[in-house]
């Protein structure tokens, strides 16, 4: 997504926020706290776009935990009286929960495929890609098995953790391994990227394929090894307000904020790539 396209996306979502605010400000999901009201800001110039109040519930991929937690605090600070709550997990499980009726306002997935399961069920429309992410090999500090390339994961005695294939990080790992012509049998398949990373932290495996952003956020405990095949398995991350959002105005405003220059700068600093 070019800068021009991103600005267009922000403007579109900001307009949606205004429309949602006018129609939903009296709904149960958007009631202001007693004696308080908050104004959403696009962060791109700080222009007020809609009255936002209450709680904004965000379902987001596990790899977004650190970045979105920080962005949620910034959004709250810009909108006094608003509370952002998160449900982080594997994108496929989150999508299934949304399609089963779990109350949520925004969905941020780690792949277009998982977002598509929600849009196909009419749970969201017009998602926007806001970042991209690539894989890296996570190893214990000091890299005791001396892993230097993807093919080393198939070495004798090397224990590897992968995400389950239905999870975006698992699907990306399958693509990368196929690109490198590497066949291996993982000792465990985890339901989200944080689970795969934890196996390395605890010393239960010698390596895991996780996102570069997860390696960066956990640099005090693990090391990362780049590998060229990762370029064949880059994941786009889409975000969308949900069709049945209890807080429609808050959903549109938060999604617009994630596309804003302020949020994009924080995400880039965390290791994500601009779309």
Cα 227 vs. chain centroid, distance in angstroms?
22
Q: Do residues 123 and 243 touch, judged by C-beta distance below 8 A?
A: yes
φ/ψ (deg, to 5) at 242: -90, 145
User: Measuring CA to CA, which residue among 112, 117, 136, 116 is closest to residue 235?
Assistant: 112
- Are β-strands 160-163 and 207-211 bridged in parallel, bridged antiparallel, or unpaired? parallel
The pair of structure tokens assigned to 149 is 């390339």
pLDDT at 113: 96
pLDDT digits (tens, 9 = 90+) for 102-132: 999 999 999 999 999 999 999 999 999 999 9
Q: Do residues 128 and 255 touch, judged by C-beta distance below 8 A?
A: yes
CATH superfamily of 135-232: Periplasmic binding protein-like II (3.40.190.10)
φ/ψ (deg, to 5) at 57: -100, 120
Per-position DSSP letters for 233-272, written without gaps between them: SPEEEEEEEBTT-SSHHHHHHHHHHHTSHHHHHHHHHTT-
CATH fold, domain 3-132+236-269, is: D-Maltodextrin-Binding Protein; domain 2 (3.40.190)
Alpha-carbon distances of 199 from 125, 162, 270, rounded to whole Å: 36, 10, 22
The low-confidence residues of the chain, meaning pLDDT below 70, are 1-50
pLDDT at 198: 97
Rounded Cα distance, 229 and 117, in Å: 27
Q: List the domain boundaries for the chain.
A: 3-132+236-269, 135-232
Please tell me the pTM assigned to this model.
0.82
Q: Where are the alpha helices (DSSP H) in the chain?
A: 3-24, 65-78, 91-99, 112-120, 168-179, 193-201, 212-217, 248-258, 261-269
């Amino acid at each position: 997504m070019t800068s021009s396209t991103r600005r267009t996306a922000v403007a579109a979502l900001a307009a949606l926020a205004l429309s949602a605010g006018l129609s939903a400000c009296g709904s149960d999901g958007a009631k202001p706290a007693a004696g308080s009201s908050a104004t959403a800001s696009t962060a791109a110039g700080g222009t007020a776009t809609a009255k936002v109040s209450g709680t904004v519930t965000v379902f987001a991929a596990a790899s977004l935990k650190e970045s979105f937690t920080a962005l949620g605090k910034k959004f709250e600070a810009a909108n006094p009286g608003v509370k952002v709550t998160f449900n982080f997990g594997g994108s496929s499980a989150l999508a299934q929960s949304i399609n089963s009726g779990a109350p949520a306002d925004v969905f941020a997935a780690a792949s277009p495929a998982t977002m598509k399961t929600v849009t196909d069920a009419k749970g969201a429309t017009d998602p926007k890609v806001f970042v991209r992410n690539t894989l890296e090999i996570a190893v214990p500090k000091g890299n005791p098995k001396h892993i230097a390339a993807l093919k080393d994961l198939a070495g004798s005695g090397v224990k590897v953790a992968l995400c389950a294939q239905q999870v975006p990080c698992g699907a990306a790992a399958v693509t990368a391994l196929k690109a490198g012509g590497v066949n291996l049998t993982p000792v465990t398949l985890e339901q989200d990227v944080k689970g795969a990373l934890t196996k390395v932290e605890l010393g239960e495996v010698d390596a895991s394929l996780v996102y570069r952003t997860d390696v960066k956020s956990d640099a005090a405990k693990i090391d990362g090894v780049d590998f060229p095949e990762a370029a064949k398995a880059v994941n786009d991350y889409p975000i969308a307000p949900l069709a049945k959002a209890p807080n429609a105005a808050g959903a549109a405003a938060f999604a617009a904020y994630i596309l804003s220059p302020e949020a994009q700068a924080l995400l880039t600093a965390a290791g994500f790539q601009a779309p």
